[in-house]
Amino acid sequence: MTEHVNPLRDPQDRRLPRIAGPSVLVIFGVTGDLSRKKLMPAVYDLANRGLLPPGFGLVGFARRDWADQDFAKEVHDSVKEHARTPFREEVWQQLLEGIRFVPGEFSDDQAFETLKETIQELDEQRGTGGNHAFYLSIPPSFFDDVVGQLRRHGMADEKGQGWRRVVIEKPFGHDLRSARELNDIVSTVFPPESVFRIDHYLGKETVQNLLAFRFANQMFEPIWNNNYVSHVQITMAEDIGIGGRAGYYDGIGAARDVIQNHLMQLMALTAMEEPTSFEAAQLRTEKQKVLGAARPPVDIDAHTARGQYSTGWQGGEKVKGFLEEDGIKPDSFTETYAAIRVDIDNRRWAGVPFYLRSAKRMPRRVTEIALNFKRAPHLPFTSTDTEELGINALVMRIQPDEGITMRFGAKVPSTQMEIREVSMDFNYGGSFTESSPEAYERLILDVLLGEPPLFPQHEEVELSWQILDPILNRWAELGGPVDQYESGTWGPQSGIDMLARDGFVWRRP
Ligand code: BG6
Closest residue by Cα to atom 15, ligand 1, is 238
Closest atom of ligand 1 to CA, residue 262: 3
360-396, pLDDT tens digit by residue?
A: 999 999 999 999 999 999 999 999 999 899 999 999 9
Query: Is the same domain home to 151 and 212?
Result: no
CATH number of domain containing 37? 3.40.50.720
> Is pLDDT of 432 > 80?
yes
Give 125 Cα–ligand 1 centroid separation in angstroms. Answer: 38
Pocket mutation for ligand 1, best pick of 262, 266, 398, 443 (most atoms within 8 Å of C-beta) = 262
Identify the pLDDT of residue 124: 95
Please tell me the distance from the alpha carbon of residue 228 to that of residue 223, in angstroms, as a whole number. Answer: 6
Query: Is the same domain home to 118 and 234?
Result: no
489-503, pLDDT tens digit by residue?
A: 999 999 999 999 999
- Degrees, nearest 5: CA angle 402-406-408: 155
pTM of the model as a whole: 0.95
CATH number of domain containing 333? 3.30.360.10
Query: Is the same domain home to 325 and 420?
Result: yes
Q: Is 125 among the domain residues?
A: yes
For residue 224, give Cα distances in angstroms to 76, 171, 184, 362. 47, 31, 38, 29
308-344, pLDDT tens digit by residue?
A: 999 999 888 999 999 999 999 999 999 999 999 999 9
- Is the shortest distance between the CB of 45 and ligand 1 below 6 Å? no
Give 200 Cα–ligand 1 centroid separation in angstroms. Answer: 9
Give me the DSSP letters along 172-204: --SSHHHHHHHHHHHHTTS-GGGEEEE-GGGGS
Q: Is 189 among the domain residues?
A: no
pLDDT above 70 coverage of the chain, percent: 98
| pLDDT-based confidence at residue 1 (cuts at 50, 70, 90) | very low
Q: List the catalytic residue out of 76, 200, 231, 262.
A: 262
Query: Is the same domain home to 208 and 101?
Result: no
- Is the shortest distance between the CB of 419 and ligand 1 below 6 Å? no
Domain hosting 105: range is 17-169
Q: Is 195 among the domain residues?
A: no
> Is pLDDT of 158 > 90?
no
261-311, pLDDT tens digit by residue?
A: 999 999 999 999 999 999 999 999 999 999 999 999 999 999 999 999 999
- Is the shortest distance between the CB of 258 and ligand 1 below 6 Å? yes
- Is the shortest distance between the CB of 205 and ligand 1 below 6 Å? no
Query: Is the same domain home to 262 and 405?
Result: yes
Identify the pLDDT of residue 398: 97
Q: Known catalytic residue: 200?
A: no
> Is pLDDT of 195 > 60?
yes
Q: What's the structural domain count of the chain?
A: 2
Which residues, 6+ apart, have CB-to-CB distance to 383 below 8 Å? none
Listed residue (349, 429, 416, 427) closest to 386, CA to CA: 416
Query: Is the same domain home to 30 and 161?
Result: yes
- Mean pLDDT, rounded, of the chain: 95
Identify the pLDDT of residue 15: 77
Query: Is the same domain home to 108 and 207?
Result: no
